[in-house]
Structure 1
Amino acid sequence: MKKFFLAAIGLSMMASCSQPAAVENTDSGIRLAYVRIDSLQSQYEYFEELALELIEEEKVLVDDLQRRQQTLQENIALYQQEAPKMSARQREANEADLMRVQQQYLQVEQAAQAQLVKKQQDLTKMMREDMDKAIAVLKDELNLDFILLYEEGGQIIYANTDFDITERMVNMLNESRETPSEEEASAASEEAADSTSAE
C-alpha cells in the first residue's frame, strides 16, 4: 500500500545541500537534473509520516470490515442451520434481516474505500504543492531546463550521478517542514484556537 501512495505522487521535490551538484558547472546546451523517486519517497520525513498514518488507518478500516464480514457469514451459517425448523414467515423475516445487514456492510465498505481515496488524493496534493515550491527554487538556483524523475525499471535506463539532485531536494523539503511558512503557522494557530473554543 505504501508503494502505491508513493507511486501515486508522481513527480518529486528538491533540497539544498552544501555540496554543489555537477549540473551547476554546465556551460551550454540543455541543462537538466534528475531526482530518484525511491530515495525521495523514503527520505522526505513529513510525507513518510503521513503515509504511515494513512497505512495504519487503512489497517483499522480493513480489520473492521473483516469483523463485520465474519459476523455476517456466521449469521448466514446459523440461519441455514436453523431454517428447516422455521415457519415460512420466520424464514422470510430472517432473510430480510440478513439482506439488510449485508447491504449495511456494502455501504460501510464503499464509504471506507471513498475515505481512503480522498485521503490519498489529499496526500498527493500536499506532495505536489511541496514539490512545486522546491522546484521553483531549484530550477532558478541551478538554472535548469528540465528536472526528470528516475526510478529503477522506468523509462530512463541510465542516469549520470553528477546530475542527481535528490539530496538537495530532500533537504529542502525537510527543512521547509521544520520551519513552516507564515500561512501554515497561521492555519495551525487557527485550528488550535478552534479546538480550544470547542472544548
Structure 2
Amino acid sequence: MNNAFATIAKAGICALLAATVVSCNNQGTKPAATVATADSAQAQVEKIVFVNIDTLLEKYEYFKDVRTKLEEKAKKAQADLQSRSNAFQREVADYQQKAPTMSAADRQSTEERLARKQDELARHNQNASASFAQEEASENEKLYSRITDYLKKHAKENGYKLVLTYSAANPGVLYADESLEITTEVLTALNAAYATEKKK
C-alpha cells in the first residue's frame, strides 16, 4: 500500500506538474520583438528550476499523514475481509463434516446458502477495493493540488517560467545543476502551511 500510493502520487505529480506551472506562467505573455543576447538567454535559463519529488514526498508532512491514514484503512479493511473469510471457511468446514449425515434437501439448501455467502463475500471485497481505490485517487488529487497551487504562486513570485520534477524512479531530468533545485524552500513552505492548518 505504502509503495503503491507513493508511486501513484509520484507519477501523477510528475506527469502534470510542469505543464501546470508552464501554463500558469504563459498566461498573458506577449512575444517581444527583441534580439536575444547571451545575457538574456542566461536569464531565461535561470528561470527554469526543479523539485525533487522523491524528497518532497518523503518529507512533506501532509503526504506522510495521508499515507498513514490510508495504510490504517487498508489494514482495517484487510482484517475485516480476513475475518469474514475465516468465518465462511469455518461454515464450509462445518458443512463438509456434517454433509454425510444430512438429507439431500438439507445438503442442497446449505450448499445454496454457502454459494450465496461466497458471492456476498466476493462482492464485499470488490466494493471495499473500489472504495479504497477511489479514496486513494481523491487523496492524490488533493496532494497534487496542494503542491501545484503553491508552485504556481511561488513561480510567479520568483519569475520561474518552468518548474521540472526529478524522480529516481522516473528520471525525466537526467541532470540538473543543484543551484536550480528549489525542493527545500518548497518543502519548508508546504510544511509550514500544513502545520498552521493542523492547528486550526
Q: Report TM bin, short chain.
A: 0.7 to 0.9
After superposition, the C-alpha distances for 1:24-76 in whole angstroms (9 at most, x for unaligned) are xx523473111111111121102211210111111010011011112212221
Partner of 1:115: 131
Following TM superposition, by how much is the alpha carbon of 1:140 offset from its aligned partner in structure 2, in angstroms? 1.5
Q: Distance in 2 between matches of 1:29 and 1:167?
A: 20
| 2:151 equivalent to 1:135 | yes
Residue 40 to residue 29, structure 1, CA distance change in 2 (3 Å):
closer
2:90 corresponding residue in structure 1: 74
Q: What is the alpha-carbon root mean square deviation over aligned residues?
A: 2.2
Change (3 A) 1:65 1:83: same
1:40/1:170 contact within 8 Å kept: yes
Higher helix share: 2
> Which residue number in structure 1 is paired with residue 142 of structure 2?
126
- Aligned partner of 1:67: which letter? S
Structure-2 separation of matches of 1:49 and 1:29 = 36
Aligned residue in 2 for 1:11: 13
Q: Percent identity of the aligned residues?
A: 27
Report the CA distance between 1:86 and its aligned residue: 1.3
Q: 1:120 to 1:157 in 2, by over 3 A?
A: same
Letter in 1 for 2:7: A
The 2-side partners of 1:137 and 1:170 are apart by 14
Residue 85 of structure 1 corresponds to 101
d(CA) in 2 for partners of 1:167, 1:81: 64
Corresponding position of 2:195: 178
How far did 1:137 drift?
A: 1.6
Task: Give the gaps of 5 or more residues in structure 2.
Answer: 18-41
> What is the aligned residue count?
171
Deviation at 1:163, TM superposition (A): 1.3
SS in 2 for 1:144: coil
Q: Distance in 2 between matches of 1:91 and 1:3?
A: 46
Displacement of 1:158 after TM fit? 2.4
The residue matched to 1:27 in structure 2 has which SS? helix
Distance 2:122 2:45 in 1: 58
Deviation per CA, 1:161-180: give whole Å up to 9, x if none.
Answer: 21111111111111222334
Q: Within 5 A, what are the aligned runs for 1:141-180?
A: 141-155=157-171, 156-180=173-197
